[in-house]
Amino acid sequence: MGDEEGAVSHRGLSALAQGCLELEYIAIYVSDITNASLESIGTYSKNLCDFRLVLLDREERITDLPLDNGVRALLRGCEKLRRFALYLRPGGLTDVGLGYIGRYSPNVRWMLLGYVGGSDTGLLEFSKGCPSLQKLEMRGYKASSKSGRDLIAMARPFWNIELIPARRVVTTNQLGETVLLEHPAHILAYYSLAGPRTDFPDTVIPLDPVL
């Protein structure tokens, strides 16, 4: 398939993995993706320390979703990973796949996830793993409660959790037209010896397991 503006397909990702065996860092926008292409990364990119992938919404149909098995193979094969970003589309990863991320990311310290999992079940399974995680950002999360109290089970010592619930914002575009923007729920979790911050804007709900 033809690709524009530097985006690649699943075939390009597989070819990259097989041809560049010493890669330590990959940041890539893909127009299409398969489990097999992620498995190639896990098979050939043994020195990878930083992996970042964004699945664009350019194609109406993606060849192979969900990516549960591919993500599992990538994480199991790339044992040196310290930074991991996976920004997909709805349906890109199930709760099972989100659980795989927790289970097979023992050394990852920084993580950005977008539109992964389908419920709190996957998120809580994910939170049982990732023992080295210092900062987590999740976007497009489908919370079952607007207060975020169902996320308290994620809490760890010195671990701050902040929830920005999904919201709609009415704004004006460059043509002067009134448009409605959808902002999905957003979770930010991070370690801090100083404790929770106090300068929250109104859109942020701090989650304190002590309360």
Confidence class for position 94, pLDDT limits 50, 70, 90: very high
| 18: three-class secondary structure by DSSP | helix
pLDDT of residue 98: 92
pLDDT of residue 153: 66
CA distance 49 to 84: 8
pLDDT of residue 175: 73
Helices (H) and strands (E) in the chain, counts: 5, 10
pLDDT in tens, 12-70: 777 877 888 888 998 888 888 889 989 999 999 999 999 999 988 877 777 788 999 99
Whether the CB-CB separation of 163 and 151 falls below 8 Å is answered with yes
pLDDT of residue 146: 57
DSSP-assigned letter for residue 131: T
Angle between helices 68-77 and 95-103 (to 10 degrees): 10
CA separation, residue 20 to residues 14, 41, 85 (Å): 10, 10, 20
Model pTM?
0.81
pLDDT of residue 4: 43
Nearest to 97 by CA among 125, 62, 78, 120: 125
Considering the domain 10-207, what is its CATH architecture? Alpha-Beta Horseshoe (3.80)
Mark 182-204 as b/e (b = at least 16 C-beta within 10 Å).
eebbbbebbeeeeeeeeeeeeee
DSSP-assigned letter for residue 36: H
pLDDT of residue 95: 92
Q: Does the pLDDT at position 190 exceed 90?
A: no
Per domain, the residue ranges of the chain are: 10-207
Nearest to 42 by CA among 12, 17, 19: 17
pLDDT of residue 210: 53
CA distance 210 to 125: 21
Average pLDDT over residues 93-116: 93
Q: Where are the beta strands (DSSP E) in the chain?
A: 25-30, 50-55, 83-87, 110-114, 135-141, 159-164, 167-172, 178-183, 185-191, 205-207
Confidence class for position 8, pLDDT limits 50, 70, 90: low
pLDDT in tens, 105-160: 999 999 999 988 877 788 888 888 888 988 988 887 865 555 556 666 677 777 88
pLDDT of residue 193: 77
pLDDT of residue 164: 79
CA distance 52 to 200: 29
CA distance 34 to 173: 36
